[in-house]
């Protein structure tokens, strides 16, 4: 077997996240301004063939799971075709997708049929007015319709990603737990991270995971599950219910020590940490005739330099210039 991807801190890399577009049809206040951001041109984005080639090169190096992200990935045409080719032609074990859910109703069946194993749906509010305020779009009904359609066709888990925002999430947390109870979804509360377009993040805006957990425990009995190595979330079973809740706590409880993730942006830049300040260009060698071996060595060298940790909690932390939508979730 080809030597596995390993960084200079002894961690093996198994999880690849590939953004297929930086475009989004929502304008979430913690992510981008109302007018949106300058989008990449179509020619600047990796083609599907280039994505398949990269994944094919990385799976022999130990990459087992692949998540397609954006922006909003379902804005790009032909995603089921891409998934089918990835599943059948690259050797990757699991393909998941992160979506805002607005386009799921008409695409859920095709995505499941193509081979998507897991779905993560971003949904920060269950209240129509609050949802519209947060996203600057009246689209909650589209997300709910998409979740209904998805639940009817996928045998795999459905995870709901909720960015925890001060003075918002505290008011809806019990509604989200009830959603988990009623549907079997896993509701995952994610601490708000400094990846906003305005670079205005402050600690007053995010709700630490332990505070959310304390609120939930005032009403529900929870049983914590064992955290698998490299998992981003702590998960809890709600006693007497189908669903679970999870906490993703990159700010208050970082999980960098066993991180096994790398990311490729939609314009073909390899990022070894969500908060990386440097990137490795893979698009240019893909297009200039570089051999597979040359590209693999580029990846190996970048992975070897993977950061030990992000530095959100340290003096001098510098927020990356790219926003979450440009990096890929």
- Strand 234-238 and strand 222-224: the pairing is antiparallel
CA distance 246 to 64: 23
Sequence ranges of the domains in the chain? 15-327
**Dihedral angle at the C-alpha atoms of 248, 252, 258, 260, nearest 10 degrees?**
50
Predicted confidence at residue 91, as pLDDT, reads: 94
292 contacts 57 by C-beta, under 8 angstroms: yes
Predicted confidence at residue 116, as pLDDT, reads: 97
CA distance 326 to 23: 8
CA distance 310 to 266: 22
| Residues facing residue 14 across a β-bridge | none
Q: What is the pLDDT confidence band of residue 323, given thresholds at 50, 70 and 90?
A: confident
CA distance 204 to 210: 15
What pLDDT, in 10s, does the model give residues 172-214?
A: 999 999 999 999 999 999 999 988 887 778 888 889 999 999 9
What pLDDT, in 10s, does the model give residues 10-55?
A: 999 999 999 999 999 999 988 888 898 999 999 999 999 999 999 9
DSSP 321: S
What pLDDT, in 10s, does the model give residues 60-85?
A: 999 999 999 999 999 999 999 999 99
Q: Which residue has the higher pLDDT, 287 or 204?
A: 287
Is the dihedral angle over the CA atoms 227, 113, 75, 130 positive or is it negative? negative
Structure tokens, 180: 């988990």
Q: Which fold has domain 15-327?
A: TIM Barrel (3.20.20)
| Phi, psi (rounded to 5 degrees) for 26 | -110, 165
What pLDDT, in 10s, does the model give residues 128-183?
A: 999 999 999 999 999 999 999 999 999 989 999 999 999 999 999 999 999 999 99
What pLDDT, in 10s, does the model give residues 214-225?
A: 999 999 999 999
| Phi, psi (rounded to 5 degrees) for 210 | -65, -30
Helices 169-183 and 209-217, axial angle in degrees (round to 10): 60
Helices (H), the chain: 48-58, 79-89, 104-114, 128-135, 140-153, 169-183, 209-217, 283-287, 292-304, 324-327
Which helix (H) or strand (E) segment holds residue 235: the answer is: strand 234-238
Task: Average the pLDDT over 215-238 and give the result.
Answer: 95
Predicted confidence at residue 3, as pLDDT, reads: 85
Predicted confidence at residue 2, as pLDDT, reads: 61
Task: Average the pLDDT over 279-284 and give the result.
Answer: 98
Q: What is the pLDDT confidence band of residue 1, given thresholds at 50, 70 and 90?
A: very low
Nearest CA to 317 among 262, 267, 276, 263? 276
CA distance 104 to 145: 8
DSSP 90: S
């Amino acid at each position: 077997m080809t030597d596995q991807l390993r960084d200079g801190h002894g961690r093996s890399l198994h999880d690849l996240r590939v953004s297929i577009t930086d475009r989004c049809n929502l304008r979430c206040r913690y992510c981008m301004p109302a007018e949106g951001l300058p989008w990449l041109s179509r020619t600047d984005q990796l083609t599907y063939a280039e994505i398949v080639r990269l994944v094919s090169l990385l799976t022999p190096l130990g990459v087992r799971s692949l998540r397609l992200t954006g922006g909003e990935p379902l804005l790009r045409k032909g995603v089921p075709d891409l998934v089918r080719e990835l599943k059948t032609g690259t050797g990757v074990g699991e393909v998941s997708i992160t979506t805002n859910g607005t386009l799921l109703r008409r695409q859920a069946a095709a995505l499941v049929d193509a081979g998507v194993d897991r779905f993560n749906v971003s949904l920060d509010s269950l209240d129509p007015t609050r949802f519209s305020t947060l996203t600057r779009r009246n689209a909650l009904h589209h997300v709910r319709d998409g979740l209904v359609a998805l639940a009817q066709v996928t045998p795999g888990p459905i995870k709901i990603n909720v960015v925890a925002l001060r003075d918002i999430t505290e008011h809806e947390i019990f509604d989200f737990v009830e959603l988990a109870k009623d549907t079997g979804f896993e509701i995952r509360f994610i601490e708000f991270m400094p990846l906003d377009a305005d670079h205005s993040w402050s600690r007053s805006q995010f709700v630490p995971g332990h505070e959310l957990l304390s609120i939930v425990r005032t009403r529900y009995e929870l049983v914590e599950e064992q955290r698998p190595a490299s998992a981003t979330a702590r998960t809890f079973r709600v006693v007497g219910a189908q669903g679970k809740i999870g906490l993703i706590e990159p700010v208050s409880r970082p999980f960098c020590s066993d991180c096994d993730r790398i990311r490729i942006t939609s314009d073909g830049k390899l990022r070894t940490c969500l908060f990386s300040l440097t990137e490795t260009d893979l698009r240019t060698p893909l297009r200039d005739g570089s051999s597979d071996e040359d590209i693999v060595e580029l990846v190996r060298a970048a992975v070897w330099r993977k950061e030990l940790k992000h530095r959100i909690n340290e003096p001098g932390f510098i927020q990356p210039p790219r926003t979450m939508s440009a990096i890929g979730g």
